[in-house]
């Protein structure tokens, strides 16, 4: 789709843009002059490294009046530090579809973007890099990685680590289709962790300047959108940082018969390669590099990892405590929820839901099935699942049976369940009445 542009303010030249170039504005950024300030900070950071290659900066915001948008554009144009020696830039209003804006009328409900981009050109696509070189994704992933022996060596070292048992103190556990991002300044959370990944992949994205670190558990449901989410989350905690780079670490998967792991590996590599920022691949321990064979069957070597937010150390880990609300969060996955951010680093609060689902179909039938049937029908890799998989699924199914309508039993006020770390480093629920 080629969106149109509606120029606001004295913009002499506006180029066509791709709708994929817009970056979601975090909910905690003010929706007025803050939009322009956010765009300007990002523009300055990008200018430092991209002056010879072009620049794109977009901040997506909900409906604003045309007069407000005009003020934002004029403010951005007046404050942007561009000199005659740098490439020319245009500032305009990017609409998601071919829509005209009547004078003095509110913008349509679709999301719009205040965009800064090079004149006369398209948005530059920033590559996924290894040692400063762009990865050739036209080649099979296995062949590509063999070109970088240091990545294979790093994967070998990671595979050779015994799994460390990580307790609940200072831990933020990430389930499938969840992500969380925080910084070294966080006084509550020092470890982000996730496990039980068979064909799934665990992704750590970190900005070396701000220390903002994100961990997510991807299953291939909507990889490109999920990568954009975690990128925006990390950048929202790094917008005041002028130095550093973005680094990504990929762990998980194995040589499964259905090749789901390989498919997810390829999806992740392409999604990061399509971003509007340089991303450096630092750890690559996925699929064939995370595979062991036993009696003609293949298994992952690493099922779980943890990342120390303070030190940036990533290590092989397992987690006895996967709370809080483990069954609730698992039920959300089983009923088809999309990727969600579960943590607010500024308030240091974990927020679960609100979730809504219809009664799970045939739940009594599934609870009556033996372990083999549950494995064969509710797992993407029955032979490779950890020993507790079936008991975990049964517990989740029972939870769904007990809560067929979560809007009545779990979220009557349509507000999330909030948790904060206690002085002992454990999660305790916050009563809304005390807030």
- Residues with Cβ within 8 Å of 98's Cβ and at least 6 positions away in sequence, in order, are 3, 4
pLDDT recorded at residue 126: 61
Least confident of 20-24, 157-161, 165-169: 20-24
* pLDDT at residue 381 tops 60: yes
More confident residue, 339 or 6: 339
What pTM was estimated for this model as a whole?
A: 0.72
pLDDT recorded at residue 73: 53
Mean pLDDT of 333-350: 94
Mean pLDDT of 364-380: 93
Mean pLDDT of 176-200: 97
- Highest-confidence segment of 123-127, 129-133, 160-164, 235-239: 160-164
pLDDT recorded at residue 138: 80
Nearest alpha-carbon partner for 17 in 160, 122, 131:
122
| Residue 24: DSSP 8-state | B
Q: Which residues are registered as beta bridge partners of 396?
A: none
- Residues with Cβ within 8 Å of 319's Cβ and at least 6 positions away in sequence, in order, are 165, 166, 171, 173, 193, 194, 195, 304, 306
Q: Cα–Cα distance between 291 and 298 in angstroms, integer?
A: 7
CA angle 17, 20, 24 (to 5 degrees): 110
State pLDDT tens for residues 44-57: 444 444 343 333 33
Nearest alpha-carbon partner for 198 in 2, 331, 385, 423:
385
Mean pLDDT of 344-350: 96
| Residue 338: DSSP 8-state | P
Tell me how crowded residue 231 is: count the other CB atoms within 10 A of its CB: 22
- Contact (CB, 8 A) for 230 and 340: no
Kindly write down the DSSP assignment for every residue of 274-290, as one continuous string: TSSS-EEEEEEEEGGGG
Nearest alpha-carbon partner for 11 in 70, 91, 122, 66:
91
Q: Cα–Cα distance between 101 and 64 in angstroms, integer?
A: 11
Average pLDDT in the chain? 77
pLDDT recorded at residue 133: 86
- Contact (CB, 8 A) for 429 and 419: yes
Least confident of 108-117, 131-140, 288-297, 346-355: 108-117
* pLDDT at residue 35 tops 70: no
Collect contacts of 408-414 with beta carbons under 8 A, ≥24 apart. Answer: 410/328, 410/353, 410/354, 410/355, 411/353, 411/354, 411/355, 411/356, 414/354
* pLDDT at residue 19 tops 50: no
pLDDT recorded at residue 75: 54
Please count the residues of the chain.
435
Expressed in percent and rounded to 5, the helix, strand and coil fractions of the chain are 30, 25, 45
pLDDT recorded at residue 147: 85
Nearest alpha-carbon partner for 212 in 309, 305, 141:
309
Nearest alpha-carbon partner for 304 in 215, 397, 383:
215
Categorise residue 116: left if φ over 0, alpha if ψ from -120 to 50, beta otherwise. Answer: beta
pLDDT recorded at residue 125: 55
CA angle 204, 17, 340 (to 5 degrees): 30
Mean pLDDT of 220-244: 91
Kindly write down the DSSP assignment for every residue of 144-208, as one continuous string: HHTT-HHHHHHHHHHHTSPPEE--STTEEE--TTEEEEE-TT-SS--EEEE---SSSEEEEEEET
% of the chain beyond a pLDDT of 90: 61
Report residue 81 CA to chain centroid gap.
31
pLDDT recorded at residue 240: 80
């Amino acid at each position: 789709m080629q969106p149109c542009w509606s120029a606001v303010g004295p913009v002499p030249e506006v180029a066509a843009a791709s709708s994929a170039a817009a970056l979601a504005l975090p909910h905690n950024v003010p929706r007025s002059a803050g939009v322009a300030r956010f765009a300007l900070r990002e523009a300055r950071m990008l200018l430092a490294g991209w002056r010879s290659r072009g620049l794109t900066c977009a901040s997506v915001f909900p409906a604003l009046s045309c007069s407000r948008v005009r003020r934002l554009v004029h403010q951005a144009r007046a404050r942007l530090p561009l000199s005659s020696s740098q490439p020319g830039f245009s500032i305009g209003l990017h609409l998601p579809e071919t829509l005209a804006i009547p004078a003095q009328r509110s913008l349509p409900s679709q999301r719009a973007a205040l965009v800064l981009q090079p004149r006369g050109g398209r948005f530059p696509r920033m590559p996924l890099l290894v040692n400063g070189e762009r990865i050739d994704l036209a080649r099979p992933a296995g062949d590509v990685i063999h070109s970088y022996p240091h990545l294979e060596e790093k994967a070998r070292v990671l595979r050779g680590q015994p799994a460390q048992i990580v307790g609940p103190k200072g831990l933020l556990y990430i389930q499938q289709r969840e992500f969380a991002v925080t910084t070294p300044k966080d006084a509550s959370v020092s470890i982000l962790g996730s496990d039980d990944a068979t064909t799934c992949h665990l992704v750590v994205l970190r900005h070396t300047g701000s220390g903002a670190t994100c961990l997510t558990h991807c299953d291939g449901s909507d990889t490109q959108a999920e990568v954009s989410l975690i990128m925006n989350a990390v950048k929202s905690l790094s917008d005041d940082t002028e130095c550093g780079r973005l680094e990504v670490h990929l762990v998980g998967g194995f040589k499964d018969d259905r090749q789901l792991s390989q498919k997810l590996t390829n999806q992740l590599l392409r999604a990061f390669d399509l971003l509007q920022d340089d991303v450096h691949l630092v750890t690559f321990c996925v699929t064939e590099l995370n595979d062991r064979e036993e009696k003609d069957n293949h298994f992952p070597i690493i099922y779980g990892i943890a990342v120390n937010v303070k030190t940036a150390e990533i290590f092989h880990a397992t987690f006895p405590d996967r709370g809080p609300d483990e069954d609730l969060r698992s039920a959300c996955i089983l009923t088809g929820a999309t990727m969600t951010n579960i943590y607010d680093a500024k308030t240091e609060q974990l927020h679960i839901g609100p979730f809504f689902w219809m009664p799970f179909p045939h739940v009594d039938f599934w609870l009556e099935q033996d372990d083999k049937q549950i494995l064969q029908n509710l797992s993407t890799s029955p032979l490779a699942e950890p020993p507790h998989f079936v008991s975990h699924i049964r517990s989740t199914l029972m939870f769904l049976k007990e809560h067929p309508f979560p809007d009545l039993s779990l979220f009557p006020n349509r507000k999330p369940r909030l948790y904060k770390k206690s002085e002992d480093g454990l999660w305790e629920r916050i009563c809304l009445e005390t807030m």
